[in-house]
A and B are shown apart, each in its own frame.
Chain A
Amino acid sequence: MTHRLKPSQYAILVAVMLTASVGDTLLTKGMKQVGPVDLHHLSLLWHALFNPFIDVGIILLIGFFACYMTSLSFADLTFVMPATAFGYVVIALLSRFWLHEHLSISRWIGILLITSAVGFVANSPSRTEHPNLDRMDSGVAL
């Protein structure tokens, strides 16, 4: 086995990148509408559940967790890591082009670094082949 990913498995990794970042952005937008919540106004959290941005955000984050765990079932943690980190890039680009925030030079360099990290691992084997791993797969270790 060469541990190349199927197109559907790449799609799951792309979903990991998009759902976490878009979900977080929607939660931020929703909570800004709801207003600050503190210990004395916990009932605001109940009202937050009726905000459409919050609802879609929660659904996306549940989808993120499902996709993240599915990806860990066929790929190494160190292979999936750049995909989760790419969420930072998506958030930065969303804030630049949707929320029209200013991105400093250092943020652009950060975006470049994370993107190249994704490039480094994207074409490499997604799963370690190791005799110890086969033992672990059978449930001896851990």
Chain B
Amino acid sequence: MRAAAADLILAIVLTATVAAPAAAQTAASSFADLRNRLEADQTVYVQTAEVADEGGRGIKGKMLELSGSTLRLLVDGQGREFSERDVLVVSARHTSTGKGALIGLAVGMGLDLWLLHGWALAQECGRGGDAESCGWLKLGLMFMAGSGLMVGADIGHSLEHEQVLFLAPDLRGSRTFFAMTPLVSSRRRGLAATLRF
């Protein structure tokens, strides 16, 4: 039972931390391909061949239209057009609030069950132990899980991930892709690594 719980928590942590890159889509290499990946009003970042943004993130704008080889964005309240020839990267950025909260929850619960003797109390409760032990168990679990959830969500919110939607054809060979996927079962625990270049 304890081993199963350990596997469950390990799987949650590994899935939340390393599985995401494996799900990353291959970036489009033409605006024609990009059309299926963009939604109206979606916020994207465009990096052009000419350095337009010294911050390195690119020009932020909301998608207005994608027609032929031209991408139209709403940038600072004004429409702006980008030619496919001039665009190097189109990306979306996401924070990891939910993922961080999940990891925090798992870590908080794990700490309570292992380090703070929550597991021993749970077993006592399961055997019809006294009400005070059960009360402490619930309180401890709620406090640790809640704290973990909040701290994890906060950390996750501060982390930003770039999802590349379009990559200019002459850059395709310059970005390597590395992903790790958790392998957790009753007999094995490990990571599967994928390297694409």
Q: Do A and B come from one complex?
A: no
B residues apposed to A, CB below 8 Å: none
A residues apposed to B, CB below 8 Å: none
